[in-house]
């Protein structure tokens, strides 16, 4: 069946959606359909209606909530920030992880740095879709490098450390080690950050005479990695040592999978921390990033939500770093607290990936859910989509709302645009890191040269979906709890 629609004007990318073969039909099961997910909770510094206790804010730091938050952009970055560059996962077997993500997200493996390229320190594989780069890294045996002269120099990620990587994997399971952002000057960004309180993790290193890379502490065992190019024109050549990092080589076609589900870039990366205030203060202080949004319990509309959130943004609002903290005293344990326990501390909770055609992305991803891809959180009930018509019927056609329902896509709006979003289940063994797929509609702006682009964060982060989404996570956690209860008691 070909779906044709007349509306959906605010965004160019979805024009291809206007004539999509309706190849996949996702049907919510009754058990799933009653619940959906969420991410943001009660106001910091005071108890919610439910009596929830919240953390003590740092001096000068207090959440005001979504409705009282006045969005301004003071253009306060301490150094030039361009965009998310790549996300690095640390694991104990990069080959299998890269292939699973490549298959599940439609991101071909495009570059490698491993024994075959002369790297005796770590195996790293890069998957790519548009400007979305995921790097998967695992250690080789230290004994391999032990007898070789200058073995450390063969590493393409200069900060890589065997024991730190092993300890990371043992403590966290699957997780994100580095959020890498492209900056104007990775050396200057490092020194400026450290001068403003950042904990140094890896001093600037110039690689191949063309790329500078440095790292500072982000939260938990995650680092914020700065990457800059001496001659920025990263896509001018097919050689990954030029457009990505020196030391990487293109993979031969046989070991890649030429697919594209429509994913284009990282939209935001979310961290879970025990206390929001010190981390927000720390990050704001050394980056200069401004507060882009806040969410509190009153915003979420459920006394069981169990979290507070702040979104930090760079000047161009292309780098968005939301942070969550748990709230205690609610009937059910905060999902953030669950994360912190299973992850053994703070870390990256989810990666929001922007698609230029979310319907295509979801059809392709759902086809692979049961065969090596990623599973999705339960879809909301049909009543949710009747309300979508009321909330976003001016932006989405009936056919598009129907397609959202078939694929389990959530819809929200803010004062500027519309957000389509959906969440996977946790990616690995533990109920920790997951992925959000989004498409933002509207907020197109033209610069002085007439170039049209979309404002960062257009359509928000799904505040209107929070209560529905949270119920879904709760439902999922209940299934984990139920399993635990039927476990045989020790005798």
Task: Please give the residue ranges that form the binding site for Fe ion (CB under 5 A).
Answer: 352, 436
Closest approach of Fe ion to the CB of residue 269, in Å: 9
Length of the chain: 491
Closest approach of Fe ion to the CB of residue 293, in Å: 11
Concatenate the DSSP letters of all residues of 36-61 into one string: ------PPTTS--TT--B-PPPPTT-
For residues 221 and 204, the answer to whether their CB atoms sit within 8 Å is no
Closest CA to 477 of 436, 437, 432: 432
Nearer to Fe ion, 156 or 421 (CB): 421
* Token reading at 108: 């071909």
Closest approach of Fe ion to the CB of residue 352, in Å: 4
Nearer to Fe ion, 36 or 169 (CB): 36
Which ranges in 106-183 belong to alpha helices (H)? Answer: 142-146, 162-172
For residues 157 and 144, the answer to whether their CB atoms sit within 8 Å is no
Closest approach of Fe ion to the CB of residue 265, in Å: 14
Nearer to Fe ion, 242 or 324 (CB): 324
Closest approach of Fe ion to the CB of residue 320, in Å: 9
What distance in Å separates the CA atoms of residue 114 and residue 357, rounded to the nearest whole number?
A: 34
Nearer to Fe ion, 251 or 352 (CB): 352
Q: Which residue is nearest to Fe ion (CB)?
A: 352
What distance in Å separates the CA atoms of residue 399 and residue 165, rounded to the nearest whole number?
A: 48
Nearer to Fe ion, 436 or 468 (CB): 436
Closest approach of Fe ion to the CB of residue 470, in Å: 13
Nearer to Fe ion, 97 or 293 (CB): 293
Closest approach of Fe ion to the CB of residue 382, in Å: 24
Closest approach of Fe ion to the CB of residue 127, in Å: 21
Nearer to Fe ion, 188 or 456 (CB): 456
Nearer to Fe ion, 357 or 436 (CB): 436
Cα 254 → chain centroid = 29
What distance in Å separates the CA atoms of residue 109 and residue 176, rounded to the nearest whole number?
A: 18
What are the E-state strand segments in 296-416?
307-313, 320-326, 347-355, 410-413
Expressed in angstroms, the distance from the first to the final Cα of the chain is 58
Closest approach of Fe ion to the CB of residue 25, in Å: 26
Annotate 14-30 with b (16+ C-beta within 10 A) or e (fewer).
Answer: beebbebeeebebebee
Which ranges in 260-375 belong to alpha helices (H)? Answer: 276-287, 297-300, 335-342, 358-367
Nearer to Fe ion, 145 or 352 (CB): 352
Q: How far is CA 128 from CA 207, 370, 490, in A?
A: 21, 22, 47
Q: Which residue has the tokens 């952002």?
A: 181
């Amino acid at each position: 069946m070909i779906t044709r629609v007349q509306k959906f004007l605010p965004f160019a990318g979805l024009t291809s959606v206007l004539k999509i073969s309706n190849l996949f039909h996702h049907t919510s099961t009754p058990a799933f359909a009653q619940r959906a997910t969420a991410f943001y909770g009660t106001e910091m510094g005071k108890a919610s209606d439910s009596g929830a206790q919240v953390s003590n804010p740092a001096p000068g730091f207090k959440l005001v909530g979504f409705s009282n938050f006045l969005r301004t952009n003071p253009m306060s970055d301490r150094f030039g920030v361009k965009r998310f560059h790549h996300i690095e996962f640390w694991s104990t077997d990069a080959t299998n992880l890269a292939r699973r993500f490549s298959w599940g997200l439609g991101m071909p493996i495009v570059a490698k740095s491993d024994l075959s390229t002369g790297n005796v320190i770590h195996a790293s594989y890069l998957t790519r879709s548009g400007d979305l780069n995921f790097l998967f890294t695992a250690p080789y045996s230290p004994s391999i490098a032990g007898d070789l002269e200058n073995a450390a120099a063969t590493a393409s990620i200069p900060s890589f450390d065997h024991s730190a990587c092993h300890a990371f994997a043992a403590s966290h399971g699957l997780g994100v080690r580095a959020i890498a952002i492209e900056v104007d000057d990775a050396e200057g960004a490092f020194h400026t950050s450290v001068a403003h309180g950042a904990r140094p993790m890896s001093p600037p290193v110039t690689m191949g005479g063309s790329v500078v890379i440095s790292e500072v502490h982000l939260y938990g065992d995650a680092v914020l990695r700065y990457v800059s190019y001496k001659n920025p024109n990263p896509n001018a050549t097919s050689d990954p040592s030029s457009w990505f990092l020196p030391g990487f080589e293109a993979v031969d076609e046989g070991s890649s999978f030429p697919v594209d589900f429509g994913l284009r870039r990282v939209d935001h990366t979310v961290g879970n921390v025990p206390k929001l205030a010190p981390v927000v203060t720390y990050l704001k202080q050394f980056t200069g990033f401004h507060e882009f949004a806040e969410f509190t319990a009153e915003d979420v509309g459920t006394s069981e939500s169990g979290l507070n959130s702040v979104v930090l943004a760079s000047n161009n609002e292309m780098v968005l770093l939301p942070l969550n903290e748990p709230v205690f005293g609610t009937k059910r344990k905060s999902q953030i607290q669950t994360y912190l326990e299973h992850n053994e501390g703070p870390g990256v909770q989810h990666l929001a990936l922007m698609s230029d055609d979310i319907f295509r992305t979801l059809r392709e991803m759902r086809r692979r859910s049961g065969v090596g891809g990623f599973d999705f959180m339960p879809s909301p009930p049909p009543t949710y989509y009747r309300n979508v018509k009321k909330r976003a019927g001016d932006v989405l056609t009936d056919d598009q709302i129907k397609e959202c329902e078939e694929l389990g896509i959530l819809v929200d709006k803010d004062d500027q645009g519309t957000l389509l979003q959906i969440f996977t289940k946790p990616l690995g063994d533990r109920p920790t890191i997951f992925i959000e797929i989004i498409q933002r509609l509207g907020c197109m702006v033209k610069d002085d040269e007439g170039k049209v682009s979309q404002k960062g964060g257009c359509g928000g982060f799904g505040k209107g979906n929070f209560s529905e989404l949270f119920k879904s996570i709760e439902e999922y956690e209940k299934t984990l709890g139920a399993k635990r209860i039927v476990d045989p008691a020790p005798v």
